[in-house]
Amino acid sequence: MRLPLLDQYPTLSMFEARAREIVPPDALAYATGGAASEATLDRNRWALQHLAIEQRVLMGVKTIDTTTSFLGLTLPTPIIVSPMGGMYRFHPEGDVEMARGATRDGGLSVVAGGAPGLDKVAAAASGPLIFQLYWLGDREWVADKLRTVHAAGFKAFCLTVDAAAYSRRERDILLNMPLRRAAAALPDTQSSLTWDDVDWVKAQIPLPFGLKGIMTAQDAELALDHRVDFLWVSNHGGRQLDDGRATIDALTEIADVVNGRVPLVVDSGFRRGTDAIKALALGATLVAFGRTALWGLAVGGADGVQSVLRLLNEELVINMKLAGQRSTSLLSPRVIRRIDGSGFAINVPVSQRTSPEGSLMSQLSASQRAAVQQISDDAGLSEIDKMWSITEAVLGAAPSAPAPTDRTSE
């Protein structure tokens, strides 16, 4: 069934433009801003823009399978909605409408730890929900919160672990954002958390449990040692650690370490269906969208959320066909190419890395090919570091990073 809002706002950019017109300035700053210099916020987008999708043709792509398995659930799409606080600033029934819209087509949504009335939120959803836990009290407080989550019918829960301190978000500070004042008044209960707390919280209710905020292979290994059921690669939409890495960069090394042992969720910087393809190809099971869904909520409540998700999924299917890929669950790194600042590919598909016969590699000297191979095989380098090292090896110097033009994505 065609949604009426899609006739009025047929593109994602139109939803965002309308939201910017109607959302109050302080709430808009909260939605679009990041931590301090906003380097992490910018890097999330910039890193995605330096990955290109390979175009394959004549691959028989009449039907695209986007069905996704996650923690025993069968989902119609790998695209989900991230948890976000302060939804009431964008719609009077913010958390309820977000859950209602995000699950209408059978998708999964994640409910923020500060959402009021979990029973009401759960009752509004027609698909599965995950609860995002912030540790905002003592263990008794946490246990009581989780009993409520379990009773409300949530399918899983995750502990947010990237909030040892509340970051300096300068846009919020300049506008004296009410949410910032409220956060500053909360007790400091998260900076003292350790892996012992992970073991304790996992045992409180019989639901699948994950950690949200994993950004290194080392922490991924530790999480697996502590028997978590899923990992969430996230830098909080660029809103916590300033000058951190992009999640798409961290995802690759984390996926290598996890090697399929548990599902991976990723967020931060994702705004188009093509971004989801990149993340899925690099190892993600689910790709969570935050700000994009938020624009839909602001414009049309549940209908707006459902509408932007339909657009994202339409983009996903169209570009899967154009890339010659039939199933999102079968995407692999060979679908993705890293590109330099000028738009040229600087590596060959993963499946060809051991061969010098790729289109770019065949144009290089023997010493250049050896240097590129050595960099590609260096497990100690992140994907972004490899990109710049290879560019320097081939071209003599890495190009300057372009000035970011968009800071409004998660």
Domain spans, the chain: 4-322, 333-395
Which of these ranges, 105-109, 121-125, 164-168, 221-225, has the smallest mean pLDDT? 164-168
Q: Residue 248: what pLDDT?
A: 97
Half-sphere exposure of 249 (CA within 13 A, CB side): 21
Q: Residue 342: what pLDDT?
A: 79
Q: Residue 286: what pLDDT?
A: 98
- pLDDT higher at 169 or 404: 169
The arithmetic mean of pLDDT across residues 356-375, rounded, is 66
**Among 236, 290, 235, which Cα is nearest to 410's?**
290
Does residue 107 register a pLDDT over 80?
yes
Which of these ranges, 142-146, 305-309, 314-318, 403-407, has the smallest mean pLDDT? 403-407
Spatial distance between the Cα atoms of 335 and 384, rounded to a whole number of angstroms: 17
Inter-residue contact 315 to 292 (CB < 8 Å)? no
Spatial distance between the Cα atoms of 7 and 374, rounded to a whole number of angstroms: 52
Query: 4-322: what CATH class?
Result: alpha beta
Which of these ranges, 171-175, 247-251, 317-321, 396-400, has the smallest mean pLDDT? 396-400
Which of these ranges, 153-162, 237-246, 387-396, has the smallest mean pLDDT? 387-396
The arithmetic mean of pLDDT across residues 202-206, rounded, is 97
Spatial distance between the Cα atoms of 225 and 343, rounded to a whole number of angstroms: 40
pTM above 0.85, yes or no: no
Where would I find the beta strands (DSSP E) of 279-343? 286-289, 336-338
Q: Residue 403: what pLDDT?
A: 47
Does residue 180 register a pLDDT over 70?
no
Task: Label residue 343 by pLDDT band (50, 70, 90).
Answer: confident
Distance of CA 203 to the CA centre of its chain: 27
Does residue 211 register a pLDDT over 80?
yes
Inter-residue contact 109 to 80 (CB < 8 Å)? yes
The arithmetic mean of pLDDT across residues 380-398, rounded, is 70
The arithmetic mean of pLDDT across residues 213-241, rounded, is 95
Q: Residue 181: what pLDDT?
A: 55
Averaged confidence pLDDT in the chain: 88
pLDDT of 295-311, one tens digit each? 999 999 999 999 999 99
Does residue 48 register a pLDDT over 70?
yes
Q: Residue 295: what pLDDT?
A: 98
Spatial distance between the Cα atoms of 279 and 263, rounded to a whole number of angstroms: 13
The arithmetic mean of pLDDT across residues 390-398, rounded, is 67
- 50 given a catalytic annotation: no
Strand 79-81 versus strand 286-289 pairing type: parallel
Q: Residue 408: what pLDDT?
A: 45
Spatial distance between the Cα atoms of 230 and 221, rounded to a whole number of angstroms: 12
Q: State the residue for tokens 């190809």.
A: 281
Which of these ranges, 65-69, 208-212, 224-228, 354-358, has the smallest mean pLDDT? 354-358
Where would I find the beta strands (DSSP E) of 298-351? 336-338
Q: Residue 399: what pLDDT?
A: 45
Distance of CA 229 to the CA centre of its chain: 18
Secondary structure (3-state) at 406: coil
The arithmetic mean of pLDDT across residues 336-340, rounded, is 91
Does residue 356 register a pLDDT over 80?
no
Inter-residue contact 291 to 32 (CB < 8 Å)? yes
Inter-residue contact 369 to 377 (CB < 8 Å)? no
The arithmetic mean of pLDDT across residues 164-172, rounded, is 77
Spatial distance between the Cα atoms of 100 and 238, rounded to a whole number of angstroms: 26
Spatial distance between the Cα atoms of 163 and 32, rounded to a whole number of angstroms: 19
Does residue 212 register a pLDDT over 70?
yes
The arithmetic mean of pLDDT across residues 98-117, rounded, is 94
- pLDDT higher at 400 or 171: 171
Look up residue 185 and give its two tokens.
Answer: 């008044």
Q: Residue 152: what pLDDT?
A: 95
The arithmetic mean of pLDDT across residues 357-366, rounded, is 57
Task: Label residue 177 by pLDDT band (50, 70, 90).
Answer: low
Does residue 20 register a pLDDT over 60?
yes
Q: State the residue for tokens 């672990």.
A: 161
The arithmetic mean of pLDDT across residues 377-388, rounded, is 73
Does residue 201 register a pLDDT over 50?
yes
